[in-house]
Amino acid sequence: MQQTPSVVTRLGLGTETLPSLGTSPNHANIQVIKRDGTTASLDVSRIRKVVEWSCAGMDVNPITLEAGLKTRLRNGVTTREIQDNLINCALEMCSPDDPDWRYVAGRLHIWSLWKDTLVSRGYQYGNYAQTVQANVSIHRYNEKILTYTAEELQEAGSWINPEWDTDYDYAGAVLLTKRYLLPDELPQEALLTCALLLASVEVPEKRLIWAKRFYEAIAQRKISLATPILANLRVPNGSLSSCFIVAIEDNLESIFREITNTARISKNGGGVGVNVSRIRSTGSWVMGKFNASGGVIPWIKLLNDTAIAVNQGGKRAGAVTVSLDIWHLDIPEFLEMQTENGDQRRKAYDIFAQLVVSDEFMRRVQNKEMWSLVDPYEVKTKLGIDLPTLWGKEFEIAYEQVEKAITTNKLVLYQQINARELFKMVMRSQVETGMPYLWFKDTANRANPNKHEGYIPGGNLCQESWSNVLPGKLAHTCNLDSLNLANLELEELPEICETAVRLLDNTIEVSHAPFQDSADHNQHYRTIGVGCMGLADWLAKHRLSYTDLPSISHLFEDIGYYCTHASMELAKERGVYPAFEGSEWSKGKLIGAKPVEWFVDNAIQKERWVELSQAIKKHGIRNSHITAIAPNTSSSLVQGCTASVLPTYSRFFYDKWAKGTVPIAPPFIKEYFWFYSENKTLEQTKVVKAIATIQQWIDTGISMELLFNLNQGVYFPDEPDRSLQAKDIFETLMLAWQEGCKAIYYIRTVQKDDFKEADDTCSACAN
């Protein structure tokens, strides 16, 4: 049997007496109520042991934490109240000069969890095999965990290191325990069970080897599991995929089928992108009658209400982004469907708008040329052109034919507008609401390795993951994890990338897809997304900034290479993804469907890319898409690092939570304070160039948020009265397209020193 946590033994705190806190000289007269309901006299020695433990190794003075409780005790106080008071004291003392108090508060929160678990089930980290059996018997754990024998579970239990529970700061500890843990479950039990289930598809003689490797990478926070995996893997029939995309055809059967599929995705906590570009526009024909169609908005409203109604088991509203091609006649109303004015029956306030933008449109914006909005139904029936399915040169040729048809009066449903003026409408909405997202269709489809089988219609909820979608047959489905760069060094990358790729490939086998189109896509393309978080921490630790583009490029060249190489090695072991033949991979092209010559010209280590290209042509590759960088806004707090690959908003700030304000700071704030760039004052063109540099080595996408500070003098220190203008934002957005970024996620603004942001939906997807 495993031992109870070494920290508990070291403190001399048995399994019956809970920590009692106090500093009054008359403490013997104070009776406290313990968590099991019994009473006892306040014991000062125990408070000191707990405080000393929580402060051990931190740059804090434990005496100040004790002193903070002098006026907070009373007869009949509960040990839980005392513990909460200690936590509050630690949080109140946290500051940019004393950031370690947030770790003290985190340890105290974990201590409470340990004690609650002890009272509830009678032991802490005592017997993992017993815990598994108990949870399976009440259908709390997936019975697939019993693939392992009792002896194997006992061996796995011996890997648990309770000290890893104490590495979380307060924000991370609270999110971990409240969002991810099941009742009567401890953190290391949850992480170990996930690792064992992910390794259950391995051959029997290697299951424990890989399970241990998965567990140590996850528990030491070198790899972060996406929310659906961490939350759903242990429960029976859990859906583990993070990102979904469906496309709706222009008929009732398809519309209601995909609304139902959206509900199934939402039920399981996934985020979904829904492309509606095929649906006929307002005023189009229905059953031969002109001006009978209500356009896309009524159907978007149904998706909106579905997201509200199917609210992820009561946790939060569903998360749906609806994408529409920029040429669609309903674009003006689409941009206004979240404003307060107008017909409320044609509003959709709870979906996330996404524009599918072509290169041709962006060129016309650049040149202030006219742009034509048309009805896809009329274009298809009169001209035989299926516009939504086209991109690149084929779209440009077809669009030229469409505009000629307008001039010859063959089309009656159209609107012509200056492209720059339309883009201004887009920008105005972005500054006010954070949306619409911009997804660059041609850039994304040029990088698609599966052009031989179709096209990508739009982006997912968080604008980082996509692949081919075929309505009624294949719905994009992707499984995500992330490398925590704050906890990694370059020499660890080969092994940790291999682990991350294998972990996700295994996820496909143990996941329960929410509907058949998703299951079929999972098997056909085996799409995964290894992402990254903590780039700001990695840069600070190496005394670098977001302008050090060669260093950033070198880091992500390594990540791109090792992840791609790992998928090739998996193909040798397990076989290629079914759509491999005819793909860009099969032709020797590499990340982003780029020819190997590009890597010879641009890579630091050129020869390894040539060898990898040859190996993939010979052995194939296991996963059609391999890397994608999610926003990780919430899960980065659990990981104790900065989110995604973006700069930290501020070096130190307080976030408002339901239980009060919580201090947030990056992990190396004390050692490398000045090396952290603050996004709230960082010129966003630098962010765009950094993301574009990273994008070269990421085969899918990157969730790129842009944050514009509208206060005077922020970007122009020599001109204190000057503030950011619309022209500056316009040029930044244009730069993103020109530099090869595939999407722009939220646009956020800082006004009057307040952080104004749209509702964060990432917790429904990768987080």
Active-site annotation, residues = 460, 462, 464
Please state, in angstroms and rounded to a whole number, the distance separating the CA atoms of residues 232 and 313. 12
Please state, in angstroms and rounded to a whole number, the distance separating the CA atoms of residues 587 and 584. 5
Radius of gyration of the chain (CA): 27
List C-alpha distances in Å: 136 to 116, 139, 203, 671, 734. Answer: 21, 5, 23, 45, 54
Please state, in angstroms and rounded to a whole number, the distance separating the CA atoms of residues 226 and 635. 8
Residue pair 104/65 in contact (Cβ under 8 Å)? The answer is: yes
Query: Amino acid letter at 68?
Result: G
Residues 6+ apart with CB under 8 A from 224: 218, 481, 482, 483, 484, 533, 632, 635, 636, 638, 639
List C-alpha distances in Å: 108 to 40, 105, 164, 254, 475. Answer: 21, 5, 14, 52, 44
Cα diameter, the chain: 96
End-to-end alpha-carbon separation of the chain, Å?
35
Residue pair 261/484 in contact (Cβ under 8 Å)? The answer is: no
Residue pair 1/27 in contact (Cβ under 8 Å)? The answer is: no
Burial annotation 49-77 (CB, 10 A radius, 16+ → b, else e):
bbbebbbeebebebeebbebbeebbeeeb
* CB neighbourhood size of 343 (10 A): 8
Give the single-character DSSP code of 310.
Answer: S
The answer to whether the peptide bond before residue 436 is cis (omega within 30 degrees of 0) is: yes
Provide the β-strand partners of residue 415.
Answer: 373
